[in-house]
Structure 1
Amino acid sequence: MDILEQGLAKGLIKFDDDRKNVLYIHQNKRYRYTDPEEHVRVKTYLELILNYGYHPARIVLEAIVPLRTPSNLADIVVYNDDSRKDPYIVVECKQEEITDAEFIQAIEQGFGNTNSLRAKFLWVTSGIKSAYFNVSDFKPMEREANKIADIPVFGSSELLVAKYIKGGKDGFELEKVSEQDLTRIFRQAHDALWAGGKRNPSEAFDELDKVIFCKLWDERTLRKNGEPYNFQVFTGEATDKLLQRIKSIYNKGKAKDPEVFRDDIRLNAKELETVVGYLAKVNLTATDLDSKGKAFETFMGSFFRGEFGQYFTPRNIVKFIVESLPITNESVVLDTSCGSGGFLLYALDKVRNIADQKAEEGYFSKDSKEHWNFWHDFAEKRLYGVEISESIARTAKMNMIIHDDGHTNVVAFDGLEGIDKLSETTKNPGFKKNRFDFIITNPPFGSTIKYSEHRYIEDFELGCKSIDWIEAKLKNVDLNSPRDNQSSEILFIERCHQYLHDGGILAIVIPDGILTNSSMQYVRDWIEEKYRIIAVVSMPQTAFTANGAGVKSSVLFLYKLSEKDTATIRAIKKSLQDKTFDKPEYGAAITALEQEKQTILKRGDVTKQEMEEAFVSHIEALRAQGNHTKDIERQLTKGHKEKVKEYEKSESFQSWKKETTEEFNERISNIKENLSDEYTGLVKDKLNNYPIFMAIAEDIGYDATGRETGNNELVPIAKELYKFIQAIINGTDSFFA
């Protein structure tokens, strides 16, 4: 139960109906709850009573501080006696969004109040971060040696060496925190390292990643109940000792997973202590997937908008894709453009949920080695990701660590480079052609891959120039030279095909242009030959707006066909092309019209014909009169050609040529259209004799601003699509089965 709910249930506080004010019942004092600092003070007050055991009668709010300015008040003072004459603990409360510099100022203010009241201990807190000091036993200006792990609980004369203890005995267990609080913690820790420009945001993020890694590694270190966690400030410990301890944790983890971080921690002792202060209380392992994922991405997006934000696929779309697919712990799964790892995380979470379900069904206990192996073997050996940006790949690894491992097979590499080259360069033999059961991905849209910069374009069928089959027939050509450039999302469709084994399934987010633009017909033809189309699910226009993109998109589900099936399809299509083209009303008619068009254009309009006739008559007259010589004819012919050429530039001739060309082209185009329609119909009758799952999602749980709508049509669509995909796998793929 939330500490506010506990306080309300025990009659310690009470809110107004509009929650604008809070009443501290034992103190009979009412304060504005709309004040950000009051949010922190009310929780701290309840902690003192419910967690530390102090009686409300010994707690004073806004206690007057002697020897200070008349208006100076201490936020909370805890007394050692019922008469409240012996101040024991002074608490300085600040709002959650306080900066690190402001927090240091709050410590100074707290020391002033504590010394003036002659209290023994000081607790400075923003709710997000806390610092504790033994004030009375040290010199007034001491700020290091007098740090303590926590204030004492009621009735104890001994200070805790460490606050956070495994199991919580003689201390406190780590806390699960909300998504909002975790976002604030990440952001404020990052701000402290960024320090207004001391580091650039990316460098600060890298260092924070390393410390989070240490935090998680420490949480997962095997320890008995009653043993303290190492990731925290100990009473009386110098900051350099904390630095040494955290670096030791980091080096152990780094030795096991050298690919996660190659560099050492670059923080000094004070900087590290600051970040530890933000993270120490949090139980990252126990915080649920959605909270961790959204907090991580919200934090990242707020600092790296434009650089990192583009790598996020909205979680509702990620969930939809993963829930639609029959992924199990035995599946081999890949994201060829994994960004921050969202698809991989949800695939891992799906397998963990299966493990939980198996535990409920009695196959093993939830805390058993079998349960752990069930999902962890999948994470370690069957979950793969490729990301072109090294910093983003590292972020994906970090994201995977935060969500309980699975980072080992995330590599930094250009996903469009050769697969063999990727495997060799990254020293990861798991990246192989024809290996993967499922590929779940949202490739970058609109990136132009130029042949002059990336010669690998020529290794893709879709990277080579294509020509309409009718034109190929008419011109008797078959182009196979590389394109000057190609869109990245088109190349990724082919790259995914290479990774999948026969019968493997691709779920890919694509711009709708691939499905609708006439210029993309060659891509659709290629897909039709290489895949069985399972489903097309249309996303709303606003699906990616909140993430900074406005491209209308759909999710395409494809089932990889065997080479034999592809060869059969291509042979059938070739046969149908020959059959339709060879009909006299098509191929021969087009050829005849093309020849007629060229003949008429060469002959020219009436004026040009008259010029030609006049010239011929003039030459013949010269011959008849005996005035003809070769030189004269040559000069006359030259002059005639110049006049004709000049006339052909005239508006009159150009208008005739344009009209004539358009007339013939329209007639030819009509025949080609009829030919294409008849061919397409034959293909549909012959090849596309299977059902395709089609759906349009208009509300996917959030609007263009990212605000939740309370409705998500992708949830029921995913349930039905899952059944449909299972039917395809089982060979009963019909809506009417």
Structure 2
Amino acid sequence: MKLSDILKDSNYKLTQFSQDKIDTIEKRIFTKKVRGKLVPYFNCQIRKKDVKLTPEEIVRQLYINILIKDMGYPKDRMEVEYPVSFGREKKRADIVIFDKIQTRSPYIIVELKKPKLKDGKEQLKSYCNATGAPIGIWSNGESISYYHRKDPNYFEDIPGIPRADQKLSDILEERWTINDLIERDKLVLERKSLKDLILELEDEVLANAGVDVFEEVFKLIFTKLYDEMESGRNRNRHLEFRNYGDTESELREKIQGLFNRAKNKWEGVFTDDAQITLTPSHLSICISSLQDVKLFNSNLEVVDEAFEYLISKSSKGEKGQYFTPRYVIDMCVKMLNPQEHETMIDTAAGSSGFPVHTIFHVWEQIIEEEGLDKSHLFTLEIKPSRCIDYVEDKVFAIDFDEKTVRVARTLNLIAGDGQTNVLHLNTLDYERWDERTNDEKWQDIYFKGWRNLKKLRRKRNSNQDFNFDILMANPPFAGDIKESRIISKYELGKNSDGKYKNKVVRDILFIERNLDFLKPGGRMAIVLPQGRFNNISDKRIREYIADQCRILAVVGLHGNVFEPHTGTKTSVLFVQKWHDELCPKKEDYPIFFATMQEPSKDNSGNKIFVRKKDYPDTNQYNHGGANPTDNYNDVAKDLNEYLLDDNGHLIVKHDLFNHGGLTADGIAEGFIEFAKKEGLSFWGK
């Protein structure tokens, strides 16, 4: 009988257990007839009696094997179904390991009854508090969490438990390098996302800390990114963003010093006098939760998702501006094919997804040309000078929301090794840019990027027209511009009778404004509400676009793409400005149309991931396994069943592109074939 058959309809999994541990249990299963049915049993080596193999019992027996064989704990120090008193009531802890010296004092308690982390952790806390046990473990067979009980209100995440021949202090005093972090990355081992961990911190710590959650989590991620980068460039350096047994006050002093060094490295994100304002005890809990997470990979996706969540809670949704999923961004970048000599800008940058992924696209070209390898930690490694020059000279971003600009600057500063052209400006109100750019405080942060942007103006003293090769943007859909001073600057601010409107939806003005940024022959990808493509009232907008550009492609996105923020149906418009050589004007020409068929998210906004059975020819070996749900929030992700990318991360199920050949060709590959056939200037034949 297979353990997977018994667990089939339960919330318990086998993912964390090796095949030899599973085989050991399966070889010793026998059946008994109970009420006419054959029921699986097993002889428990701790209780020394036959027990029925329920899903919970399976996980318990497997974990007992780990404790005995891998961790070296003798059977006589262990007890199962240990009674824990709560007044007159008694409950039973799943596994207890007793102290080596005080042989009836619980030292480690293992909780398996509650298959969900939140419930299990609460049960575990109550057992540890009632018995005084300093160490607690929760597991459901897939995810596992370890805790050190410092006091009844403070359970600290720890990387593991001591072996029988170790003390807890031996574990806490370990010194980690970046290689240790890669090997023991919590996001991989516990199947969690950084967003999940932040949600846990909000529930348990930050909600009652009396601080701005965005600011404090931003500071911690900013600091940890710096720590990882420093260790990534000196593999023998010990990571500092860790509690190695420090007191709370010592830890706070250490982390503040690290934050100060990060501010000096990446200027213009925090003020010089910015301090971490969490109390020492709250900070200690946050460090424990985040220290085992590896933020850097080859594309900054881990930290990007966390920033998206933090900002979406505050200003973004209110302004009708939502973060563009990174797979939509990658499709646009692949289709427009930016080159090293070309300039690029995002005029509604958000967290700067389009610029950052444009950078990665061009860097891959440079790395290939120079014959270098791209590792999964590429973003923290020292880059060739051509890569840094490209970021400093060619890539720009603008946004009018101060919080998102700081996030965008962070991601660009990291990607560009301290170089960035991310500016805090109102794209539509270019007439008043000079008021902002002349401000001394603004100049302290943005002057270098502003100086670079000015070089691309079409006229020396005008901020209206620029000479960019590429523009990619997802402008805000919601909200009207009502200021006649701004509307009067735009042709699309007029009615069909030539009179200016009293109000205009933002994205309409962004269409015209973005075209002003492009030089003749320049190309653009812009996310727009579906109505712009088929509403009768928007016919004049479509005519305006067609008059200035060749319409290259229209890609309809699935309605779930921007969930849970909005269900607005959107499409991406791809155009190229007319130019005598690069894009000669034609009256009649073919246009590439495509519609996204895979939703990529469910109706609640949870991502759907690619299973190996969807692509049976993949070279990733399929071990079979359980049948987990498709989103991070349910924790259940059996890596034996899901397809992973080169970073060991799950792949979102969509049909926009082929994930480097791991999945079937998608819309981007179809467009590239079309573009080559048409002889488009940026693809050729």
The normalised TM-score by structure 1 is 0.64
Q: Structure 2 residue aligned with 1:436, among 468, 475, 486? A: 468
1:461 aligns with 2:491: yes
Equivalence for 1:594: none
Mark the CA change 1:436 to 1:56 in structure 2 (over 3 Å): closer, same or farther: farther
2:670: which partner in 1? Answer: 720
Deviation at residue 241 of structure 1 after TM alignment: 1.0
Q: Which of 174, 194, 207 is the aligned partner of 2:216?
A: 207
- Identity across matched positions, percent: 24
Q: Tell me which of 523, 526, 541 is aligned to 2:541.
A: 523
Residue in 2 that maps onto 1:657: none
Larger Rg: 1
Q: Look up the equivalent residue of 1:132 and give its one-letter code.
A: H
The verdict on how the C-alpha distance between 1:460 and 1:271 changes in structure 2, with shifts beyond 3 A counting, is same
- The DSSP-based 3-state class of the residue aligned with 1:89 is strand
Given that 1:231 and 1:246 are in contact with CA atoms closer than 8 Å, whether structure 2 keeps it comes out as yes
Q: 2:254 aligns with which of 239, 245, 250?
A: 245
Letter in 2 for 1:333: M
Counterpart of 2:469 in structure 1: which amino acid? D
C-alpha deviation, 1:278, in angstroms: 1.0
**Higher alpha-carbon deviation: 502-511 or 414-423:** 414-423
Q: What is the rounded CA distance, in whole Å, between the counterparts of 1:24 and 1:185 in structure 2?
A: 38
1:132 match: 148
CA distance in structure 1 between the aligned counterparts of 2:428 and 2:117, rounded to whole angstroms: 45
- Counterpart-to-counterpart distance in 1, 2:350 and 2:87: 55
**Structure 2 residue 170 is matched with structure 1 residue 153:** no
Residue of structure 1 in register with 2:663 after alignment = none
Preserved CA contact (<8 Å) 1:327 1:351: yes
1:411 aligns with: 423
Residue identity in the other structure for 2:520: D
- Displacement of 1:96: 8.6
Q: Deviations over 1:615-650 (max 9, x none)?
A: xxxxxxxxxxxxxxxxxxxxxxxxxxxxxxxxxxxx
The aligned residue for residue 63 of structure 1 is 82
Q: Give yes or no for the alignment of 1:230 onto 2:240.
A: yes
CA-CA distance at 1:26 after TM superposition = 5.1
Does residue 190 (structure 1) correspond to residue 206 (structure 2)? The answer is: no
Name the CA shift for 1:52/1:418 in 2 (closer, same or farther; >3 Å). Answer: farther
1:690 corresponding residue in structure 2: 589
Q: Distance in 1 between matches of 2:241 and 2:43?
A: 35
CA contact (8 A) 1:77 1:87 kept: no
Instruction: Return the letter of the residue paired with 1:63.
Output: Y
- CA distance in structure 2 between the aligned counterparts of 1:400 and 1:34, rounded to whole angstroms: 47
**Per-residue displacement from partner, 1:187-211 (whole Å, max 9, x unpaired)?**
1123344425x648xx212211111
How far residue 159 of structure 1 moved from its aligned partner, in angstroms, is 2.3
Match of 2:526 in 1: 508
**Equivalence for 2:650:** none
| Rounded Cα–Cα distance in structure 2 between residues aligned with 1:76 and 1:528 | 71
8 Å contact from structure 1 (residues 693, 721) kept in 2: yes
Structure 1 letter corresponding to 2:591: I
Aligned partner of 1:536 among 542, 554, 573: 554
Which structure dedicates a bigger proportion of its chain to helix?
Answer: 1
Greater shift in the superposed pair: 225-234 or 530-539: 225-234
Greater relative contact order (Cα 8 A, min sep 6): structure 1 or 2?
Answer: 2
Q: Aligned partners of 2:108, 2:341: CA distance in 1, in Å? A: 57
Q: Secondary structure at the match of 2:216?
A: helix
1:490 aligns with 2:508: yes
Structure 2 CA distance for aligned equivalents of residues 159 and 701 of structure 1: 44
- Whether the aligned pair in 1 keeps the contact of 2:93 and 2:127 (CA below 8 Å) is no
Counterparts of 1:21-40 in structure 2, within 5 Å, are 27=46, 33=55
Structure 1 counterpart SS, 2:429:
coil
> How far off its partner does 1:52 sit?
4.7
Please state if 1:122 is matched with 2:167.
Answer: no
Q: AA paired with 1:692? A: I
Q: Tell me if the contact between 1:194 and 1:204 (Cα under 8 Å) persists in the aligned partners.
A: yes
Aligned to 2:35: none
- Report if aligned partners of 1:312, 1:547 keep a CA contact under 8 Å in 2: no
| Structure 2 partner of 1:634 | none
The aligned counterpart of 1:325 is 336
Q: Which amino acid aligns with 1:719?
A: E
Unaligned runs of 5+ in 1: 116-120, 135-140, 468-478, 570-686
Residues 448-476 of structure 1: per-residue CA shift (max 9 Å, x gap)? 11134xx2333333335554xxxxxxxxx
Q: Secondary structure at the match of 2:90?
A: coil
Give the conservation status (yes or no) of the 8 Å contact 2:563–2:603: yes
Q: Tell me, yes or no, if the aligned pair for 1:107 and 1:124 is still in contact at 8 Å.
A: no
2:563 matches 1:557: no
1:445 paired residue among 471, 477, 482: 477
Q: Is the 8 A contact 1:439 1:506 kept in 2?
A: yes
Q: Is the 8 A contact 1:12 1:24 kept in 2?
A: no
Query: TM-score with structure 2 length normalisation?
Result: 0.68
CA-to-partner distance for each residue in 1:250-275, whole Å, 9 max, x for gaps? 11111222322234222111111111
Worse-superposed segment, 390-399 or 258-267: 390-399
Q: Is contact 1:503-1:562 (8 Å) kept?
A: yes
Per-residue CA deviations over 1:393-416 (Å, capped at 9, x if unaligned) read 334445667989788433333221
Change (3 A) 1:721 1:125: same
Q: What runs of 5+ residues in structure 2 fail to find an aligned partner? A: 1-12, 30-38, 458-465, 611-652, 658-665
Instruction: Give the secondary structure class of the aligned counterpart of 1:533.
Output: strand
Computed over aligned residues only, the root mean square deviation of the Cα atoms, in angstroms, reads 4.9
Distance 2:347 2:551 in 1: 20
Deviation at 1:698, TM superposition (A): 4.3
Cα distance in 2 for partners of 1:77, 1:538 equals 56
- Aligned to 1:509, the other structure's residue is in SS state strand
- Give the Cα separation in 1 of the matches to 2:416 and 2:388: 9
Q: Give the letter aligned to residue 159 of structure 1.
A: D
In the comparison of the two structures, how many residue pairs are matched? 576
Which of 109, 112, 115 is matched with 1:91 structurally? Answer: 109
1:162 aligns with 2:170: no
